[in-house]
Amino acid sequence: MSDVRERIQWLRNEIRRHEYLYYVLAKPEISDFAFDQLMAELKALEAAHPELVTPDSPTQRVGGAVLDELPQVRHEIPMLSLDNSYNEGELEEWYGRVVRGLGRKPEALVAELKIDGVSLSLIYEGGVLMRAVTRGNGEVGEEVTPNAKTIPTIPLRLPADVALVEVRGEVYMPRPVFLELNRKRREEGEEPFANPRNATAGSIRLLDSRQCARRGLRFFAYQIARMPGKELRYHSQALELLAQWGFATNPGWRRCRDVSGVHEFVEEWGQKRKALAFDIDGVVVKVDSIAEQQALGATSKFPRWAVAYKYPPEGERTRVKNIVVQVGRTGTLTPVAELEPVRLAGTTVTRATLHNADEVARLDVRVGDTVWVEKGGDVIPKVVAVDISVRPAGAVPFSMPDRCPVCGTPVVREAGEVAIRCPNSSCPAVQKARLLHFCSRAGMDIQGLGEQRVEQLLQAGLLSDPASLWDLDWEKLAALPGWGEKSAQNLKKQLQDAKTRPLWRLLVALGIRHVGERAAKLLASRFGSLSALSQASQEELEAIEGIGPTIAQSVVGFFASRQGAELVRRLRARGVDPREIPEGPATPAPLAGLAFVITGTLSRPREQVAALLEAAGAHVSDSVSRKTSYLIVGENPGSKLAKAKNLGVPTLDEAGLQRLLSEKGVAW
Ligand code: IVH
């Protein structure tokens, strides 16, 4: 037993060391494969000896806890925000106030990047992470400990003998992670996040820590707020200590003699910020000496010893002519700014999304305002800032309507969501968006029905729901402006062909929330028909590898809803009822739902291994993707290994594969 204890201890230390090398220093010493082996061994030992599992074990990062709500916690020391400055002059003014306050120049200043995320307070007791709390209103925040534990740059324990320490820092989402998350959300009919900060705020407050673990959040420590009995003299010492403890700290932070050094830092990062993998919105300048910080104190809102310098917004300036509200296919109301046309990254932009009510309130955009618009990495242009200095007199704050702008139904806001929806399923705007989605390339791929035509047919009373496409009155249609015998015939043919589209396309086209192509394919191959799927229970759906409770609930909800059931009935009555041979339910093949890719040389020919896996119900393919369940790694693996690592696809060596097979009762 003591051997096991020692081995576990050794593994944990080794894993922590490699996590640090990988995530904080970005200088891994071992392959990801070797790292996974260590983790797998630790997991196995902990599974065999549950009494030896500790909350600071690296295995605890995967998440697991699902909460009903986030507990509220009062901050021992309030989490203040920072006063802003926007140019050199304002920074000088702040420095002047510091000098007057102290009666002399401060010993030194520290300049750091101002990371655009959400702040988080971490409490370590006896060196172990006990509690993580969001800023909240500065006095009271929300406890998000299980989520914080999933962030790889937050140490679960400190290699130091301190009874109590509160570390503060910024949680953020790297830009590539954000873009990928939004891509996926769009594909699944979810509202994309406005920016990485909003995505971070939403992710760190998720109730299911396993979901949070998948959001790719990171953390930079920027302050030791308290460490009773071990007070430090300088903030810069705190940053050094934090780095020693294994935290990621702000890259490039600098101790400056006076404000001219800060100007240089600001100038330098103004150029370099584009190359960072995360968003910064400025620089934070702090008085280095803690004694001086204390002497300066704080106003009710801001510390006097620190200030934020905000970089001027990028993008182009233009004017907001109007703010309109669009209604999407799920009924979501999205505020959109109509702009004086402006050239941006090669195209003329006349509209920019304002995302949701929270974002409008944060920006305080008003009709008549001059704004900066940016294209960012995301496709849709967005308003990033307002130039308040040229706001016309009498410009009124914008507020979201409390009724749908198209059908007048009072809007609803679901608990925990920022989105406001029109609940009327026959709202003409919702109907139009649904029809467009139904016919889209991602859905039933029916060509010849663009936005204008759909609108025209709706107005002419020839269309209502997607099933009504197959009731079109061809004579009336051919007589409409812009149509004729030929285009009517073309559409007729498209609709006839659409009846034989694969089931998964129809499932995507139905617009069931959370059901994108991936989920639709899983559901189609498992159930084979609309009617079989409509009778599936939540449990049956969740039993499918790759279908979680969110999708399951949404699917059950769709078929149980009057509108969903009615649409399905109407589609089937018109012969839109594709069928596939289902994979067979009750006793699925032992490896059903698993997708394998093989790289390198195994002890048997690759084809033989692939055949064995396929015979047991697995899918074997040549290229690694997010859908790959395992990459099997033999001797001299190829580039697939790196790709798997990148995508977070787990790997198995031959011994690992044999273990998996024996667990599933498949002979090797
Ligand atoms: S120090 C007393 N340092 O900016 C406030 N804040 O606008 C001490 N932030 O709430 C904050 N990077 O969330 C500090 N290097 C940094 C920061 C930073 C980002 C955030 C923080 C704070 C907000 C204020």
Q: How many other β-carbons are positioned within 10 Å of the β-carbon of residue 38?
A: 17
Measured from the CB, is residue 82 less than 6 Å from ligand 1?
yes
Q: Specify the residue for token string 């926007």.
A: 86
Known catalytic residues? Answer: 114
Closest residue by Cα to atom 22, ligand 1, is 81
Residue 293 neighbours by CB under 8 Å, 6+ apart? 235, 286, 287, 303, 305
Higher-confidence position of 626 and 285: 285
Per-residue H/E/C for 614-626: HHCCCEEECCCCC
Residue 518: other Cβ atoms inside 10 A = 18
- Separation CA 172–CA 119 (nearest Å): 9
Q: How far is the CA of 114 from the centre of ligand 1 (A)?
A: 6
From the list 447, 559, 437, 577, the residue with the least C-alpha distance to 508 is 437
Q: How far, in Å, CA of 327 to CA of 638, rounded?
A: 48
Please indicate whether residue 602 or residue 314 has the higher confidence score (pLDDT). Answer: 602
Which residues on neighbouring strands pair with residue 632, listed in sequence order?
A: 598, 652
Tell me: pLDDT of 584 over 60. no
Taking CA atoms only, the protein residue closest to ligand 1 atom 4 is 114
> Looking at the predicted structure, is the pLDDT value of residue 235 above 90?
yes
Q: 406 vs 410, 429, 430, CA distance in Å? A: 11, 6, 9
Distance CA 469, CA 576 (A): 11
* pTM check: above 0.75: no
Q: Which three-class secondary structure state does DSSP give residue 145?
A: helix
Q: Is 257 helix (H, G, I), strand (E, B) or coil?
A: coil
| Token pair belonging to 631 | 């990459």
Q: Domain 503-573 belongs to what architecture?
A: Orthogonal Bundle (1.10)
Q: Do the Cβ atoms of 167 and 221 come closer than 8 Å?
A: yes
CA-to-CA dists, residue 44 to 448, 631, 648, angstroms:
57, 19, 20
Question: Does 574 have pLDDT greater than 50?
Answer: yes
* pLDDT above 90 for 312: no
pLDDT category at 513 given cuts 50, 70, 90 is confident
Name the CATH superfamily for 84-310. DNA ligase/mRNA capping enzyme (3.30.470.30)
Residue 170 CB–ligand 1 contact under 6 Å:
yes
Distances (CA, A) of 383 to 83, 131, 377: 23, 36, 14
3-class DSSP assignment, residue 94: helix
Tell me the DSSP string of 489-552.
HHHHHHHHHHTTS-HHHHHHHTT-TT--HHHHHHHHHHH-SHHHHHT--HHHHHTSTT--HHHH
* pLDDT of 502 higher than 70: yes
- pLDDT, average across residues 641-645: 89
CA-closest residue to ligand 1 atom 17:
114
Average pLDDT over residues 16-35: 88
For the chain, the structural domain boundaries read 2-53, 84-310, 316-390, 428-498, 503-573, 595-663
For the chain, how long is the longest CA-to-CA vector?
89
Pairwise CA distance, residues 197 & 116, whole Å: 6
d(CA 43, CA 34): 14
Nearest CA to ligand 1 atom 9: 114
pLDDT higher than 90, residue 323: yes
Residue 477 one-letter amino acid: L
Q: What is the pLDDT of residues 66-100, one digit of tens each?
A: 787 899 999 999 999 999 998 899 999 999 999 99
Determine the pLDDT at residue 484.
87
Decide: 157 in ligand 1 pocket, CB within 6 A: no
CATH code assigned to 595-663: 3.40.50.10190
Q: Whose CA is nearest to atom 12 of ligand 1?
A: 114
For ligand 1, the distance from its centroid to the CA atom of residue 561, given in whole angstroms, is: 46
Average pLDDT of span 605-628: 84
Those residues whose C-beta lies under 8 Å from the C-beta of residue 379, and which sit 6 or more positions away, are: none
E-strand stretches of 346-458: 347-353, 370-374, 382-386, 412-413, 420-421
For residue 596, the cross-strand partners are 620, 630
User: Is the model's pLDDT at 336 over the cut of 80?
Assistant: yes
- Residues in the chain, total: 668
* Residue 617: pLDDT band with limits 50, 70, 90: confident
Percent of the chain exceeding pLDDT 70 equals 98
Residues 531 and 494: beta-carbon distance below 8 Å:
no
d(CA 458, CA 480): 12
User: How far apart are the CA of 107 and the centre of ligand 1, in A?
Assistant: 21
Q: What is the tens place of the pLDDT at every residue in 395-404?
A: 999 999 999 9
Highest mean pLDDT among 72-81, 354-363, 606-615: 72-81
Q: What separation in Å is there between the alpha carbon of 544 and the centre of ligand 1?
A: 44
Q: Whose CA is nearest to atom 10 of ligand 1?
A: 81
pLDDT tens per residue across span 366-380:
999 999 998 866 667
- Right CATH number for 2-53 from 2.60.200.30, 2.40.160.10, 1.10.287.610, 3.30.1330.60? 1.10.287.610
Ligand 1 atom with the shortest distance to the CA of 116 = 19
Sheet architecture: strand order including 128-134: 128-134, 118-125, 164-172, 218-226
For the Cβ of 75 lying below 6 angstroms from any atom of ligand 1, the answer is no
What confidence score (pLDDT) does residue 445 get? 93
Distance from residue 284's CA to the centre of ligand 1 (Å): 7
Q: Is the CB of 280 under 6 A from ligand 1?
A: no
Q: Quick one: average pLDDT of 14-31?
A: 89
The CATH code for residues 428-498 is 1.10.150.20
- Alpha-carbon span 390 to 368, nearest angstrom: 9
Mean pLDDT of 226-231: 95
Tell me phi and psi for residue 169, to 5 degrees: -170, -170
Q: Hey, what CATH topology would domain 316-390 get?
A: OB fold (Dihydrolipoamide Acetyltransferase, E2P) (2.40.50)
- Selected residue with higher pLDDT from 588 and 525: 525
Give 139-161 pLDDT, tens digit per residue: 999 999 999 999 999 999 998 88
Mean pLDDT is lowest, of 51-55, 183-187, 656-660, for: 183-187
Of 222, 217, 220, 192, which is closest to residue 204 (Cα–Cα)?
Answer: 217
The response to whether residue 80 sits with its C-beta less than 6 Å from ligand 1 reads yes
Q: CA dihedral in degrees (143, 146, 152, 158; nearest 10)?
A: 70
**What is the overall mean pLDDT for the chain?**
91
The neighbour count for residue 68, using CB atoms within 10 Å, is 6
Instruction: Answer yes or no: is the C-beta of 303 below 6 A from any ligand 1 atom.
Output: yes
Residues facing 168 on adjacent strands: 121, 223
Checking if the pLDDT of 585 tops 70, the result is no
Return the residue whose CA atom lies nearest to atom 1 of ligand 1.
Answer: 222
- d(CA 315, ligand 1 centre) in Å: 24
* Distance from Cα 316 to the centre of ligand 1, integer Å: 27
The residue nearest atom 2 of ligand 1, judged by CA position, is 80
Question: Is the CB–ligand 1 distance for residue 250 below 6 Å?
Answer: yes
Among 86, 110, 168, 170, the mutation site with the greatest number of ligand 1 atoms within 8 A of its Cβ is 170
Assess whether the region 2-53 and the region 503-573 belong to the same CATH fold: no
Of ligand 1's atoms, which has the minimum distance to the CA of residue 119?
Answer: 13
> What is the predicted pLDDT for the residue at 56?
87
pLDDT at 586: 46
The mean pLDDT value for 103-113 works out to 97
Question: Measured from the CB, is residue 353 less than 6 Å from ligand 1?
Answer: no
Helices (H) and strands (E) in the chain, counts: 24, 22
- The response to whether residue 308 sits with its C-beta less than 6 Å from ligand 1 reads yes
Model confidence over 439-492: pLDDT tens digits?
Answer: 999 899 999 898 899 999 999 999 999 999 999 999 999 999 999 889 999 999
Closest by CA to 123, choosing from 88, 151, 148, is 148
Q: How far does the centroid of ligand 1 lie from the alpha carbon of residue 167, in Å?
A: 12
Question: Could you give the C-alpha distances from 581 to 202, 360, 506, 527, 528, in angstroms and in order?
Answer: 40, 49, 16, 8, 5
CB-based contact 317:374 (threshold 8 Å)? no
Residue 386's pLDDT is: 92
pLDDT at 379: 67
Pick from 584, 611, 595: which is nearest to 666 by CA? Answer: 611
